[in-house]
């Protein structure tokens, strides 16, 4: 019994030490960058240049479309703000402002209601 317990305890240590030795002495099969591709020196071939140019063109076109959409939204927002400012200051351009119509302040029925 005692002999069996010693061998069970000693086995994992032997296996770990063997694994460590095998791991530390194994040769490196592939170094960094050894993936079978050609080295990235120079500008590349004509196909790579053409592919890069097509990708850049597509990206520029998408950015151009996004800028046009943003300009359109900006113009819409500016038109909306102009409309709101005209509506807000409509009483100041006329002589019948709400403050003149009711003494002591604004009457709630004359104040314009904004729709959402």
Residue 75 within a domain: yes
Residues in the chain: 116
What lies within 8 Å, CB to CB, of 98 at 6+ separation is 91, 106, 107, 110, 111
Please indicate, yes or no, whether the overall pTM of this predicted structure exceeds 0.85.
no
Is residue 72 within 8 Å of residue 65, measured between CB atoms?
no
CA distance 85 to 28: 74
Cβ burial, residue 113 (10 Å; 0-12/13-18/19+): exposed
Residue 71 within a domain: yes
Identify the pLDDT of residue 14: 52
Q: Where residue 90 falls among pLDDT bands split at 50, 70, 90?
A: confident
Is residue 106 within 8 Å of residue 98, measured between CB atoms?
yes
**What does the block give as tokens for 87?**
């509506």
Give the range of the structural domain holding residue 70, as residue numbers without chain letter: 48-93
Q: Where residue 33 falls among pLDDT bands split at 50, 70, 90?
A: low
Residue 98 within a domain: no
Number of domains in the chain: 1
Residue 34 within a domain: no
Rg from Cα positions in the chain = 40
Residue 115 within a domain: no
């Amino acid at each position: 019994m005692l002999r069996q317990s010693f061998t069970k305890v000693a086995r994992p240590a032997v296996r770990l030490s063997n694994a460590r030795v095998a791991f530390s002495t194994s040769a490196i099969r592939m170094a960094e960058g050894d993936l079978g591709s050609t080295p990235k020196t120079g500008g590349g071939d004509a196909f790579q240049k053409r592919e890069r140019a097509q990708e850049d063109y597509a990206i520029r076109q998408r950015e151009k479309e996004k800028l046009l959409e943003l300009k359109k939204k900006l113009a819409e927002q500016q038109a909306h703000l102009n409309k709101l400012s005209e509506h807000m200051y409509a009483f100041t351009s006329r002589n019948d402002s709400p403050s003149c119509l009711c003494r002591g302040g604004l009457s709630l029925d004359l104040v314009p209601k904004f729709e959402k």
